Amino acid sequence: MSGPPVLWIHGFPLSSDVFIPQRAISDARHFMPDLRGFGSAAPPSQPLSIDDYSNDMFSLLDSSRVRKAVVAGLSMGGYIALAMAKGNPERIAGLILIDTREVADNQAARAKRLEMIGAVEREGIDPVARDMLPRLLSRNASPELVSRVEAIIRRSSVTGVTAALAAMAGRPDSSQLLPRIEVPALVVVGSEDVITPVADSERMVARLPNARLHVVEGAGHLSNLEKPRDFNEAVGRFLAAEMQI
């Protein structure tokens, strides 16, 4: 593999399997880890913050001897990407912010996460699958794709899910950070995203000094998975234009 290192950080309650279509992006060295307690990663043994996941990502880069990478974060992965940009900006070559947002949870969103933690502790993964699955893809997604996403969700561990919910509830607002991020950024969003709608991405682009927006028409929250060709072309153009590292 040649080209810039790209670290892909998945969303909640998913795994790196959502990035399988992005392996086709050539001229990049892809790193696609599972966050703790998701996919094949061991569950966390203690509560986590978004900064803890960010530290995990830097440790992975360290163990691969990668000093500087493009960080591509999908939704919760975007929250982690912003934490990485805040903590170690010199290690970030560029950002790809996918169906995500910079603002913190409001009180209602935080309360819903705490309720979900209780439900998952009592009933397992079912409640989170019921809540998330109908909102992750557009209404036009094929039943086959819906089943694939459901299978990914159901591999998640209870402690992985509850730790991630608590970490997202406690994450800081990154609005003041965005104007200080000078590296090139690509902000991508599905036109049908109901979790982080297009307006969230437009606001991030307005606050970032060096960002461009790409709207994936007809895709929901998992825009990379639902319309991989459109998504991959946008990323390929961004990497070719901006990333000579």
**Positions that interact with ligand MLT (CB under 6 A):** 11-12, 75-76, 168, 195, 221
Question: Closer to ligand MLT at the Cβ: 12 or 19?
Answer: 12
Q: In angstroms, give the least distance from the CB of 100 to ligand MLT.
A: 7
The Cα angle at residue 170 between residues 168 and 171, in degrees rounded to 5:
65
DSSP state letter for 103: S
Q: In angstroms, give the least distance from the CB of 13 to ligand MLT.
A: 8
State how far the Cα of 1 lies from the Cα of 26, in Å rounded to an integer. 8
State how far the Cα of 31 lies from the Cα of 17, in Å rounded to an integer. 12
Question: Closer to ligand MLT at the Cβ: 74 or 208?
Answer: 74
Token pair for residue 68?
Answer: 């500087």
State how far the Cα of 73 lies from the Cα of 11, in Å rounded to an integer. 8
Question: Closer to ligand MLT at the Cβ: 4 or 220?
Answer: 220
Phi, psi of 157 (to 5 degrees): -90, 155
Q: In angstroms, give the least distance from the CB of 208 to ligand MLT.
A: 19
State how far the Cα of 102 lies from the Cα of 25, in Å rounded to an integer. 26
Q: In angstroms, give the least distance from the CB of 158 to ligand MLT.
A: 17
Question: Closer to ligand MLT at the Cβ: 164 or 243?
Answer: 164
Question: Closer to ligand MLT at the Cβ: 120 or 243?
Answer: 120
Instruction: Kindly report the number of other CB atoms within 10 A of residue 185's CB atom.
Output: 26
State how far the Cα of 72 lies from the Cα of 77, in Å rounded to an integer. 8
Q: In angstroms, give the least distance from the CB of 12 to ligand MLT.
A: 4
